[in-house]
Amino acid sequence: MVEKQVILHNASGLHARPAAEFVKEASKFASDIRVLQGDAEWNAKSIMALLTGGISAGDEITIRAEGADEQQAIDTLIALLASFEEQDGAQ
């Protein structure tokens, strides 16, 4: 199992568009991937789960992956979250 904490810096948080991109990327991996915040935990491959989480800008979340491609999954998803911040900065 691999996990990494990250603070979400994009201005709009994990709303519909970024959540959909996140789920699309997470679904490419065989590993079980979860997003955690405090006591809450959501399936990273479920758009409905992530949207109900209400993850906002400035929130600290943990991405956890368990499986054969866990490290690649974590690295890819952390990079994706960082790209959301860059997209916000470009607007």
Active site residues: 15
Q: What does the alpha-carbon distance between residue 10 and residue 73 come to, in Å, rounded to a whole number?
A: 20
Q: 14: Cβ–Cβ under 8 A, 6 or more apart, which residues?
A: 8, 22, 50, 51, 53, 55, 56
